[in-house]
């Protein structure tokens, strides 16, 4: 949203609170510290803080998801799970290729579909402060549950 859209057309007063740069920077610092503390026992092992950020955004639902349905009707009943696994492997290979090009996506099999999710943009142009606050809170809740430490403790460890 541009500044003109955020301002009253009559008096110019800002109608929407602008995004807080310190809040944005703090969250990215949290992602970096979470990457340093990410548990080895977790099923997902990120290769970078950026990949962890993308994964967490998908986990908290801040993502676009595309289902890829496998036509399993042409397979015998006992072979359908194997066919779906093959579809899943093909999708994961495509995602790996996309990651090598600098974008992130994650696949999860649900029923007879492979859902491919990619995180939505957190850019200032795409996400205002009103939407950023709940997203930040969801990310911090997820990290606290996963890391078994508060975000404040995580940030204090950074300073130590």
For the stretch 17-27, pLDDT in tens is: 667 889 999 99
* pLDDT confidence of residue 8: 74
Considering Cα of 107, then 113, then 118, then 119, what sign does the dihedral take?
A: negative
* pLDDT confidence of residue 101: 62
Q: Is residue 10 part of a domain?
A: no
Structure tokens at 25: 């920077």
* pLDDT confidence of residue 112: 73
Number of separate domains in the chain: 1
Q: What is the pTM of this model?
A: 0.77
Distance CA 15, CA 5 (A): 9
Q: Is residue 12 part of a domain?
A: no
Q: Is residue 128 part of a domain?
A: yes
Distance CA 59, CA 49 (A): 15
Q: Is residue 13 part of a domain?
A: no
Q: Which helix (H) or strand (E) holds 110?
A: strand 106-110
Length of the chain as a residue count? 160
Strand order in the sheet with 63-69: 63-69, 113-119, 106-110
Q: Is residue 9 part of a domain?
A: no
Q: State which residues form the domain around 129.
A: 18-159
**Residue burial 80-98, b: 16+ Cβ < 10 Å; e: rest:** eeebbeebbeebeeebeee
- The residue among 76 and 29 whose pLDDT is bigger is 29
Q: Is residue 2 part of a domain?
A: no
Q: Is residue 153 part of a domain?
A: yes
* SS percent in the chain: helix, strand, coil, step 5: 55, 15, 30
């Amino acid at each position: 949203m541009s500044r003109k859209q955020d301002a009253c057309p009559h008096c110019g007063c800002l109608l929407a609170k602008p995004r807080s740069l310190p809040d944005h920077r703090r969250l990215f610092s949290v992602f970096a510290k979470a990457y340093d503390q990410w548990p080895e026992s977790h099923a997902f092992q990120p290769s970078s803080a950026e990949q962890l950020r993308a994964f967490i955004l998908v986990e908290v639902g801040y993502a676009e998801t595309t289902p890829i349905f496998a036509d399993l009707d042409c397979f015998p009943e006992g072979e359908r799970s194997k066919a779906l696994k093959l579809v899943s492997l093909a999708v994961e290979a495509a995602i790996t290729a996309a990651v090598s090009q600098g974008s992130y996506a994650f696949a999860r099999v649900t029923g007879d579909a492979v859902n491919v999710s990619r995180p939505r943009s957190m850019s200032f142009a795409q996400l205002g402060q009103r939407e950023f606050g709940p997203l930040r809170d969801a990310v911090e809740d997820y990290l606290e549950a996963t890391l078994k430490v508060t975000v404040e403790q995580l940030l204090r460890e950074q300073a130590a």
